[in-house]
């Protein structure tokens, strides 16, 4: 049968989602835990591979198994074998046609910036620190230039392996809550480093180094070299992955606790 699941993890101590020979990965930790519960090797397919240091509030995946376990047993048993920085939030059987990556209709990311002169302490690696005062008004104006279906070559990593650079950016919001600046991005899918590159451009504009129209210039250049600095992975969260209602995948990212996130 096919099982879908939703994960939460702190990416600070991982080299990223994807399994690697000489580095700690979320995938390896999850597959090892699931394999113990199933008493057979388990390989998972994830909705989107996150980079080193990137966190997830509700990462989706699926796997196939002949092991018969209750939904409770999948969650409770897997969490028993997972490290403290990974937790399985939900698991249930789904239709065999469900695919964690290809059935998804959208991805939501949050990027959280602590905007003050002094570096973070207990929030280190959970937020990005920006000592320059960010003006969110020009950041919001710049974001409007990027909404819609575009060729986002300027906003993807040089090593990005996606066949097409075209994506539909459905929303790009910038809000300030006290010392925190939040960037929320929603798209049908994202390119490698796309959110971090979007954040880098918006932060440069918010710091007064560029005008809002620069965002459009970067987009139209279709050249990564035009896009400036890639923002830190610290503070980047895969907030949720959306699916058609018929798939039966819950949206567990709603109401997640974080300073002024909601």
Q: Which of 169, 235, 181 is nearest to 206 (CA)?
A: 181
Q: Are 139 and 182 in contact (CB under 8 A)?
A: no
Residue 109 annotated as part of some ligand binding site: yes
β-partners of residue 106 are 242
**How many Å is the Cα radius of gyration of the chain?**
19
β-partners of residue 171 are 186
Determine the Cα–Cα distance for residues 246 and 200; give it in Å rounded to an integer.
37
Tokens of 68: 């018969």
Determine the Cα–Cα distance for residues 127 and 205; give it in Å rounded to an integer.
19
Among 51, 64, 223, 234, the active-site one is: 51
Question: Does residue 85 carry a catalytic annotation?
Answer: no
Tokens of 83: 């490290």
The residue whose two tokens read 């080299």 is: 15
What is the widest separation between alpha-carbon atoms in the chain? 58
**Active site residue ranges:** 51
Q: Show binding-site residues for substrate.
A: 109
């Amino acid at each position: 049968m096919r099982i879908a699941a939703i994960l939460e993890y702190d990416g600070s101590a991982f080299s990223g989602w994807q399994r690697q020979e000489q580095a700690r990965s979320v995938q390896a930790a999850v597959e090892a835990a699931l394999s113990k519960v199933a008493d057979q090797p388990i390989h998972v397919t994830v909705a989107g591979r996150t980079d080193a240091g990137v966190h997830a509030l509700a990462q989706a995946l699926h796997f196939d198994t002949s092991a018969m376990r209750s939904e409770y047993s999948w969650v409770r048993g897997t969490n028993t074998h997972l490290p403290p920085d990974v937790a399985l939030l939900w698991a249930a059987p789904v239709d065999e046609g469900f695919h964690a990556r290809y059935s998804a209709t959208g991805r939501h990311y949050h990027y959280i910036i602590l905007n003050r002169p002094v570096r973070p302490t207990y929030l280190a690696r959970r937020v990005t620190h920006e000592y320059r005062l960010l003006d969110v008004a020009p950041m919001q104006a710049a974001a409007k230039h990027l909404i819609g279906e575009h060729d986002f070559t300027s906003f993807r990593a040089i090593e990005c392996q996606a066949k097409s650079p075209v994506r539909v950016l459905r929303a790009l919001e910038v809000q300030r809550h006290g010392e925190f600046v939040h960037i929320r991005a929603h798209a049908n899918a994202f390119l490698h480093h796309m959110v971090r590159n979007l954040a880098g451009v918006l932060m440069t504009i918010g710091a007064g180094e560029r005008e809002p129209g620069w965002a459009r210039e970067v987009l139209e250049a279709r050249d990564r070299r035009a896009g400036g600095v890639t923002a830190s992975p610290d503070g980047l969260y895969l907030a949720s992955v959306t699916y058609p209602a018929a798939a039966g995948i819950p949206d567990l990212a709603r109401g997640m606790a974080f300073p002024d996130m909601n």
